[in-house]
């Protein structure tokens, strides 16, 4: 009789723990679904918030990382997008959509020098250097460059 109670108690505790994990994943999925609704309506800030909430509920939820990467990509945050796609693929190596996005961005990045500089943080450095040039020099340089084609 005592062993039956212990077995019943063990099963009950396991069920509660399992249910808690399922609810957390469901909650994360709920936030991803709401975020996708916002994403497809180009409401990126709302989508971003929902995907972040999903990650608060379950930091290892690959769909949340993938879709957060899509928001970053849509907003031009290349470095952040790549990081999120990498995390999604790390968590779930067979996540084909995340893998494709990651490979696509890496391929386009290889041929896009401006994007490479943006990721390395050099874009702002070059802009600052350009801003330091006096206006008359900047105009003369621009004219020279136009003449050269």
Write down the pTM of the prediction.
0.61
- The number of helix segments (H) and strand segments (E) in the chain equals 8, 0
Do 127 and 117 contact (CB within 8 A), yes or no?
A: no
pLDDT digits (tens, 9 = 90+) for 43-85: 999 999 999 999 999 999 999 999 999 999 999 999 999 999 9
List the one residue out of 46, 79, 48 whose CA is nearest residue 65.
Answer: 48
Choice among 32-36, 115-119, 126-130 with the minimum mean pLDDT: 126-130
pLDDT digits (tens, 9 = 90+) for 14-32: 655 555 555 455 689 999 9
Task: Assign domain 2-111 to a CATH class.
Answer: mainly alpha
Model pLDDT, residue 115: 65
C-alpha–C-alpha distance, residues 63 and 84, integer Å: 10
- Token pair, residue 1, equals 């009789």
> Where do the structural domains in the chain lie, given as residue ranges?
2-111
Model pLDDT, residue 111: 77
């Amino acid at each position: 009789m005592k062993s039956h109670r212990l077995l019943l108690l063990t099963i009950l505790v396991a069920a509660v723990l399992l249910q808690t994990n399922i609810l957390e994943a469901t909650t994360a999925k709920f936030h991803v679904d709401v975020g996708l609704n916002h994403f497809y309506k180009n409401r990126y800030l709302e989508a971003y918030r929902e995907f972040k909430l999903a990650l608060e509920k379950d930091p290892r939820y690959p769909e949340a990382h993938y879709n957060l990467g899509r928001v970053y990509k849509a907003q031009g945050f290349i470095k952040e997008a790549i990081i999120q796609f990498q995390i999604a693929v790390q968590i779930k190596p067979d996540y084909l959509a995340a893998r494709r996005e990651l490979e696509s961005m890496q391929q386009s990045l290889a041929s896009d020098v401006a994007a490479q500089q943006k990721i390395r943080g050099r874009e702002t450095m070059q802009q600052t250097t350009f801003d330091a040039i006096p206006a008359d020099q900047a105009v003369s340089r621009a004219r020279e460059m136009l003449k050269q084609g």
